[in-house]
Amino acid sequence: MEITIKEAQQQVDEWIKTVGVRYFGELTNLGILMEEVGELSRLMVRTYGEQSFKESDKGKDLGDEMADVLWVLICLANQTGVDLTTALERNFEKKNIRDANRHRENDKLK
């Protein structure tokens, strides 16, 4: 199933209002987002970095951890009235103007 960002925002909102009862407060969700980013970071460090896996890390799925981060980010967007599709489009415009030559001219990337 492929969904747009707008559809994802709508589906998360519907799930929260039916299954989840209500949104947690914005600051609570910000804390949850940080927790989820930490879990993603832990798995990335163990998968691609030098740290070894602990028994509790085994069996974790990178895509699932990324989806957890995305879920909470979508919750925050919904709560604060941010249309993520519009925000992402504007972000692309900003980056295309600001960084048009920046990375091509960066000797560190050659």
Task: Report d(CA 72, CA 31) in Å as an integer.
Answer: 10
Task: Report d(CA 89, CA 95) in Å as an integer.
Answer: 10
Q: Quote the DSSP letter at residue 51.
A: P
Token digits of residue 24: 């947690």
Backbone angles phi, psi at 42, to 5 degrees: -60, -45
Domain range enclosing 58: 5-109
Alpha-carbon distances of 55 from 5, 58, 100, rounded to whole Å: 35, 6, 45
CATH code, 16: 1.10.287.1080
How many structural domains compose the chain? 1
* Interval 40-77: pLDDT, tens: 999 999 999 999 998 888 889 999 999 999 999 999 99
Has this prediction a pTM greater than 0.85? yes
